[in-house]
């Protein structure tokens, strides 16, 4: 609770004043002055690629792990983040016209915790930031096929979750053109085009940027600086299940607030985690 006023101030500064990337970079440098430094040279090449491209594809997660988490998401309670009044429901008994459904309390499941606390992605993130980082939140959600127009994050947008952050996306189902691939606007990270927030039409993005769609079998995963313009396509024929871990240089307004199971985990790359 003590963090809320500070987070509100930081968010206001970011949303109102840091619209140009050069100003955002100066702000990040200022914030990092007060944080503990960290860099693991074992991940130097990964950090270089992440800095260059804005994203980094990692080694596939094993089917055993993805199947365990998929089973959890199939059998346990979900909710629609845009229609919370619908309450909790299971995948099998979800209300009609639900297109997105998040798993309730994902970090309370040990299988999800174990994946979210992956040491390689944690250390790559901290080395990218060049300071200790925070595991800020964990989410698992379904995206279901529908004939409706793209909604919210299915349109291109920039995330402004924190001063500096990364998201780790893990596909828990196979993803192709018909199951809603993630798409990233290349070279948009350090661009001053479309920095005022909101959602953008495809033609607006394609006018200025080339893009990359992320396809792959379940277990495909990648780190991405989602201040760069991006979106998750609406599935057309097949459902998609995704896990997301948010790494940040400090806690954000998205920090994990739901019930969690304590887990004994610590690493010199981490300031703190909302998992443990």
Structural domain boundaries in the chain: 4-273
Q: What is the mean pLDDT of residues 55-84?
A: 96
Q: How does the average pLDDT of the chain come out, rounded?
A: 89
What's the pLDDT band for 19 if we cut at 50, 70, 90?
Answer: low
Q: What is the mean pLDDT of residues 47-67?
A: 97
pLDDT for 2:
41
Find the angle CA(220)-CA(222)-CA(228) to the nearest 5 degrees: 140
Token reading at 200: 């953008």
pLDDT for 21:
78
pLDDT for 3:
47
Q: What is the per-residue pLDDT across 90-115, written as a single tens digit (0 to 9) for each?
A: 999 999 888 999 999 998 999 999 99
pLDDT over threshold 50, residue 1:
no
Which H or E run contains 133?
Answer: strand 133-143
Between 70 and 163, the more confident residue is: 70
Torsion of CA 31, 257, 85, 168, to 10 degrees: 60
pLDDT for 96:
86
What's the pLDDT band for 275 if we cut at 50, 70, 90?
Answer: confident
Beta-sheet pairing, 270-273 with 133-143: parallel
Helices (H), the chain: 4-16, 21-32, 44-53, 63-75, 110-116, 119-129, 202-208
Q: What is the mean pLDDT of residues 196-224?
A: 95
Q: Which superfamily is assigned to 4-273 in CATH?
A: q2cbj1_9rhob like domain (2.60.120.620)
């Amino acid at each position: 609770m003590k963090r809320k006023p500070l987070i509100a101030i930081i968010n206001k500064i970011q949303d109102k004043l840091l619209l140009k990337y050069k100003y955002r970079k100066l702000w990040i440098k200022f914030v990092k002055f007060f944080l503990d430094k960290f860099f693991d040279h074992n991940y130097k090449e990964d950090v270089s690629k992440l800095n260059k491209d804005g994203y980094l594809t990692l080694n596939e997660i094993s089917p055993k792990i993805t199947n365990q988490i998929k089973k959890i998401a199939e059998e346990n309670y979900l909710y629609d983040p845009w229609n919370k009044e619908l309450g909790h429901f299971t995948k099998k008994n979800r209300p009609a016209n639900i297109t997105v459904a998040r798993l309730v309390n994902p970090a309370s499941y040990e299988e999800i915790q174990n994946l979210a606390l992956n040491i390689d992605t944690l250390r790559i993130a901290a080395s990218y930031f060049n300071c200790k980082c925070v595991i800020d939140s964990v989410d698992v959600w379904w995206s279901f096929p529908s004939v409706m127009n793209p909604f919210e994050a299915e349109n291109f947008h920039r995330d402004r979750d924190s001063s500096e952050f990364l998201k780790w996306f893990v596909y828990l189902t196979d993803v192709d053109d018909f199951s809603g691939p993630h798409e990233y606007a290349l070279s948009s990270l350090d661009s001053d085009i479309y920095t005022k927030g909101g959602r953008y039409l495809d033609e607006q993005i394609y006018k200025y940027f080339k893009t990359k769609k992320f396809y792959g079998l379940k277990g495909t995963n990648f780190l991405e600086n989602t201040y760069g313009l991006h979106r998750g396509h609406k599935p057309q024929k097949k459902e998609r299940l995704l896990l997301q871990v948010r790494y940040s240089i400090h806690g954000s307004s998205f920090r994990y607030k739901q019930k969690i199971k304590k887990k004994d985990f610590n690493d010199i790359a981490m300031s703190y985690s909302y998992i443990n």
